[in-house]
């Protein structure tokens, strides 16, 4: 499983990091970034929760 | 009207020869083989092997000849579109046949070229003109504009080839047409084994009128500069690869013009455009480039919008002597944080620029803290080629 954030949609709300801190982090400017290219099996539920929680719908499964 | 920039070659010219001889049509299966045997690399910036690109695309629908040259220090694509349109159109037809695409178009921002191409283009080849812009030539921006949207980049994946769209720089297509005309063996007679053939190089700066060169891959940058300026000892540094390759010291003149050589020093050959510095302060040049990137980015991706604004402001403060040591530390950190943070490579270009400042000019950066620099003078690196 792989996830990506559309940088042009992300608004820096930070839900991704809150729901899946091992998959997402916030960058220097407070925008979400993917820190694990390949999401490990034990983090997939968290990553899916982040996908659903993101108020901008900026996270996609790729 | 004649192209307003002087055009010359080192070694035997190919693209510069205006040959429009009637030629045979290779079978579509042969075209990929020609691209592969000739070893053609993409001329849009990345140097990606054309044959690999042609092979990786399945269910091709559309081929785009990308001539929306957004790099302000490059003129090569506009030269080809205005002065060698038949070669570009022939390359486009070959590429479309190679991948079995039913539609083809030329995508550009140069009105003079658009007028010429609308007259020459055969039925089935659309000419799509968009306003000039730094990001307009990015491949997903091209696809978006041709689909009726703004000429702004979209998120990847998918890359265009994954959606059945082949995007090739116009020089790449002209090179494909040349390889088909010359045959792969003759095509490889110049250039290097890894980067065969010639490439177009735009030189500007150093107080001299800009010039466009066709040179074999692998010649040293200094050899082209000597041909342009008559000497190389005035050159104190180079802004490399359009605005994508950062600021290199004068010893970059010893580098051969290949993608590998420039990648090896943390830079990029990019679109083959070089601004020669002759005493210009690198900090002032970086500030100028950063202002351009801050102004010309797509205004779409937060890290790019905010990051480049901060970078441009910090470099401006270094120029006028109001920056602190903390500002310098933050600038270096931003440089490291910018790569990959946008839908296109604009933040990456800013990162290479900042990285090159700290790699090659760190003491000079520190010397600008709290001290206004008399050698940081405003400059405009854009090369005008508008019709007069």
ipTM exceeding 0.85?
yes
At residue B378, the pLDDT reads: 81
Q: Kind of pairing, strands B211-216 and B125-129?
A: unpaired
B280-333 per-position pLDDT tens digit: 999 999 999 999 999 999 999 999 999 999 999 999 999 999 999 999 999 999
Partner A contacted by B375 (CB < 8 A): no
Q: Using the beta-carbon criterion (under 8 Å), do B307 and A6 form an inter-chain contact?
A: no
Query: For residue range B46-59, what is the model confidence (pLDDT) as tens digits?
Result: 999 999 999 999 88
Does B300 contact A at CB distance below 8 Å? yes
Structure confidence by residue, pLDDT tens digits, B130-149: 999 999 999 999 999 999 99
**Mutation for testing the A interface, residue in B150, B155, B305, B338 having most A CBs under 10 Å:** B155
> Is pLDDT of B1 > 70?
no
Residue B21 is predicted with a pLDDT of: 65
Residue B388 has pLDDT above 60, yes or no: no
Report CB contact under 8 Å: B155, A8: yes
pLDDT in tens, B270-281: 999 999 999 999
Judged against a pLDDT cut of 60, whether residue A15 lies above it is answered with: yes
pLDDT per residue as tens digits for the range B111-133: 999 999 999 999 999 999 999 99
pLDDT digits (tens, 9 = 90+) for B59-108: 899 999 999 999 999 999 999 999 999 999 999 999 999 999 999 999 99
- Closest residue on chain B to A13 (Cα): B302
Q: Model confidence at B27, in pLDDT bands (50, 70, 90)?
A: confident
Q: Which residues of B touch A9 (CB under 8 A)?
A: 155
Interface test with B, best of A8, A10, A54, A57 (most B CBs within 10 A): A8
* Contact state of A31 with B303 under an 8 Å Cβ cutoff: yes
Shortest Cα distance, chain A CAs vs residue B165, angstroms: 19
**Residue B155 touches partner A, C-beta closer than 8 Å:** yes
Cβ–Cβ contact B309 with A under 8 A: no
Query: Going by CATH, does the domain composed of A3-61 fall within 3.30.70.20?
Result: yes
pLDDT 10s digits, B202-220:
999 999 999 999 999 999 9
A4, A11, A29: residue with CB nearest B307: A29
Cβ of B337 and A6 within 8 Å? no
Query: Quick check: A4 and B307 CB within 8 A?
Result: no
- On the question of pLDDT at B20 being above 80, the answer is no
Report how many Cβ contacts below 8 Å link chain A to chain B: 45
Q: Give the one of B154, B298, B306 whose C-beta lies nearest to A29's C-beta.
A: B306
* Nearest-CB residue to B337 (from A7, A12, A27): A27
Q: Average of pLDDT values for B193-198?
A: 96
Question: At residue A24, does pLDDT exceed 50?
Answer: yes
For the segment A29-50, the average pLDDT, to the nearest whole number, is 95
Spell out which residues of chain B touch residue A60, defining contact as CB-CB under 8 Å: 155
Quick: pLDDT tens for B331-385.
999 999 999 999 999 999 999 999 999 999 999 999 999 999 998 988 888 898 8
Question: What is the residue extent of each domain of chain A?
Answer: 3-61
């Amino acid at each position: 499983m792989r996830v990506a954030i559309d940088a042009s949609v992300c608004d820096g709300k930070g839900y991704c990091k809150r729901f899946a801190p091992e998959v997402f982090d916030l960058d220097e400017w407070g925008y979400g970034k993917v820190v694990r290219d390949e999401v490990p099996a034990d983090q997939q539920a968290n990553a899916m929760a982040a996908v659903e929680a993101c108020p901008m719908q900026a996270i996609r499964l790729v | 009207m004649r192209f307003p920039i002087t055009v010359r070659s080192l070694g035997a010219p190919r693209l510069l020869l205006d040959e429009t001889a009637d030629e045979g049509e290779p079978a579509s299966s042969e075209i990929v083989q020609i691209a592969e045997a000739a070893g053609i690399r993409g001329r849009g910036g990345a140097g990606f092997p054309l044959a690999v690109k042609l092979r990786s695309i399945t269910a091709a629908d559309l081929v785009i000849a990308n001539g929306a040259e957004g790099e302000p220090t490059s003129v090569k694509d506009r030269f080809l579109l205005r002065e060698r349109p038949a070669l570009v159109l022939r390359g486009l037809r070959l590429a479309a046949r190679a991948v079995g695409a039913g539609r083809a178009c030329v995508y550009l921002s140069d009105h003079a070229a658009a007028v010429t191409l609308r007259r020459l283009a055969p039925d089935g080849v659309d000419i799509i003109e968009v306003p000039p812009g730094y990001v307009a030539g990015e491949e997903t921006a091209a696809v978006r504009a041709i689909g009726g949207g703004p000429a702004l980049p979209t998120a990847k994946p998918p890359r265009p080839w994954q959606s059945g769209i082949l995007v090739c720089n116009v020089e790449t297509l002209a090179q494909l047409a040349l390889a088909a005309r010359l045959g792969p063996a003759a095509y490889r007679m110049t250039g290097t084994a890894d980067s065969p053939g010639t490439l177009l190089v735009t030189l500007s700066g150093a107080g001299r009128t800009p010039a466009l060169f066709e040179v074999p891959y692998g010649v040293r940058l200094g050899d082209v500069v000597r041909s342009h300026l008559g000497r190389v000892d005035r050159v104190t540094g180079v802004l490399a690869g359009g605005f994508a390759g950062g600021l290199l010291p004068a010893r970059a003149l010893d580098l051969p013009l290949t993608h590998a050589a420039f990648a090896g020093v943390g830079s990029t050959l990019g679109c083959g455009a070089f601004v020669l510095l002759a005493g210009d302060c690198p900090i002032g040049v970086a500030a100028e480039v950063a202002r351009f990137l801050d102004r010309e980015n797509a205004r779409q991706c937060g890290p790019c919008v905010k990051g480049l604004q901060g970078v441009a402001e910090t470099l401006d403060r270094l120029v006028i002597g109001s920056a602190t040591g903390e500002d310098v530390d933050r600038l270096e950190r931003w440089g490291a944080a910018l790569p990959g943070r946008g839908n296109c490579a604009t933040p990456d270009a800013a990162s290479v620029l900042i990285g090159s400042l700290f790699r090659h000019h760190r003491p000079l950066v520190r010397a600008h803290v709290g001290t206004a620099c008399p050698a940081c003078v405003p400059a405009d690196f854009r090369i005008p080629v508008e019709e007069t």
